[in-house]
């Protein structure tokens, strides 16, 4: 990772973007597309950054006080290569990519191919929920349109039909617990005006939180060209999503039931259980670890994927993620080994 240091950029307006300053009298504008830093005037200063970099963290130094500005990644785990474990082997041979992140110490405890771009399947829905709650309100009333129809064979659905009405809160429960693809599409059209419009918001917000190695084409993760993430970017996205109380609440739920209305005002019922096999009790986490919740994902292109929030016996939080494992049983065996690194 290249570290950029710039001296003598002076002005009086506020700093913009997320790596903003402690340094007095420094004003910088971060431009991803142009690869430049601009002061308060029109002059731009080129610097070594582009959106394809695996990790971004820069600092700014004021030439008078030499106070170092807060870097973008000051409170994040940063990793640029594989990371093993000192005390035990982790068998991750069937997974293409994996990572374990200590959220309190900002330490990367394990990393395999963490910056490889891969199809994320329904782990996409974490980004969908994050964007939906940034631009919408849980009490928003969604009216399902034709554009929200999912016709792909085998896709998980909650049975939404054109004209059905439900709240964003209800749709988010269907999205994150049942992994309903039609709920994802209905949310996207409601928030973004169209599937494409919502995908633009997803990409905009991904860049804003530093997930520069991801690109979203749809809100559900069904296979499409140019739809990809990395395990590291999923850590960034999930870490940001966990700041929302409603998302934390939903991912911890084992089941959900609610009533909504069809186009004629007649009641329809949702009732489903979590896809998370740890929460179901099908698989057990190591004794020193409590799985709080997360998101599953499976397609032929993405393989079997899983991201989790867990805590150790002291209540310290961790994010773990595995992408493109060979099958579900192997996925959970590998995830249990990864969680066992937590002491």
Final residue in a domain of this structure, among 74, 91, 107? 74
Give the residue numbers of the binding site. 295
Same domain (yes/no): 124, 268 = yes
Q: Give, in order, the Cα–Cα distances in Å from 299 to each of 130, 263, 329.
A: 22, 32, 15
Counting the structural domains of the chain, the total is: 2
Kind and range of the H or E run holding 337: helix 328-339
Q: Which residues are catalytic?
A: 122, 125, 179
Query: Which CATH number is 339's domain given?
Result: 3.40.710.10
Question: Mean pLDDT of successive 10-residue segments in the chain (343 residues)?
Answer: 37 37 34 38 42 43 41 72 72 95 94 96 98 98 95 92 98 98 98 98 96 97 97 97 97 97 95 96 97 97 98 97 97 97 91
Final residue in a domain of this structure, among 33, 58, 74? 74
Strand order across the beta sheet in which 141-143 lies = 141-143, 165-167, 255-261, 267-273
How many angstroms separate the CA atoms of 235 and 133, rounded? 18
Give the residue numbers of the binding site for substrate. 295
How many angstroms separate the CA atoms of 35 and 11, rounded? 21
Model confidence, pTM: 0.80
pLDDT the model gives residue 22:
34
How many angstroms separate the CA atoms of 64 and 295, rounded? 48
Same domain (yes/no): 133, 2 = no
Residue pair 179/187 in contact (Cβ under 8 Å)? The answer is no
Same domain (yes/no): 139, 57 = no
pLDDT the model gives residue 31:
36
pLDDT the model gives residue 78:
84
How many angstroms separate the CA atoms of 288 and 132, rounded? 34
CB environment 175-185: b (16+ within 10 A), e (fewer): bbbbbbbbbbb
pLDDT tens-digit readout, 43-73: 443 444 444 544 444 333 334 444 444 455 6
Here the tokens at position 160 are: 């939404």
Same domain (yes/no): 101, 159 = yes
Same domain (yes/no): 338, 209 = yes
Instruction: Give the Cβ contact number of residue 167 at 10 Å.
Output: 16
Same domain (yes/no): 177, 100 = yes
Same domain (yes/no): 97, 176 = yes
Final residue in a domain of this structure, among 74, 93, 124? 74
Here the tokens at position 280 are: 């179901």
Same domain (yes/no): 10, 96 = no
Same domain (yes/no): 316, 269 = yes
Owning domain of residue 128: 77-343
């Amino acid at each position: 990772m290249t570290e950029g240091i710039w001296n003598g950029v002076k002005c009086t307006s506020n700093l913009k973007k997320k790596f903003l300053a402690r340094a007095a009298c420094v004003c910088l504008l971060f431009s991803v597309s142009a690869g430049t830093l601009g002061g308060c005037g029109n002059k731009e200063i080129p610097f070594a950054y582009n959106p394809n970099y695996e990790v971004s963290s820069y600092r700014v130094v004021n030439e008078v006080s030499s106070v170092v500005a807060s870097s973008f990644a000051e409170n994040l785990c940063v990793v640029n290569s594989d990371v093993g474990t000192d005390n035990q082997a982790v068998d991750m041979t069937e997974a293409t990519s994996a990572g374990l992140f200590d959220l309190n110490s900002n330490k990367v405890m394990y990393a395999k191919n963490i910056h490889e771009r891969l199809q994320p399947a329904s782990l996409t829905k974490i980004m969908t929920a994050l964007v939906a709650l940034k631009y919408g309100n849980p009490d928003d009333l969604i009216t399902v349109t034709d554009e929200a129809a999912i016709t792909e064979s085998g896709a998980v659905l909650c049975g939404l039909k054109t004209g059905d009405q439900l709240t964003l809160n209800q749709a988010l429960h269907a999205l994150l617990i049942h992994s309903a693809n039609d709920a994802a599409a209905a949310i996207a059209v409601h928030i973004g005006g169209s599937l494409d419009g919502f995908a633009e918001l997803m990409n905009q917000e991904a860049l804003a939180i530093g997930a520069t190695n991801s690109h979203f084409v749809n809100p559900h993760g069904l296979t499409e060209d140019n739809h990809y993430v990395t395990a590291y970017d999923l850590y960034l996205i999930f870490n940001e999503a966990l700041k929302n109380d409603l998302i934390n609440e939903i991912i911890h739920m084992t089941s959900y039931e609610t009533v909504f209305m069809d186009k004629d005002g007649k009641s329809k019922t949702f009732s489903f259980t979590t896809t998370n096999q740890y929460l179901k009790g099908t698989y057990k986490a190591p004794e020193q670890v409590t799985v709080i919740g997360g998101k599953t994902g499976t397609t032929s292109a993405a393989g079997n994927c899983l991201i989790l929030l867990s805590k150790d016996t002291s209540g310290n939080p961790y994010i773990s993620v595995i992408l493109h494992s060979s099958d579900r049983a192997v996925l959970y065996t590998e995830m249990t080994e990864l969680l066992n690194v937590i002491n």
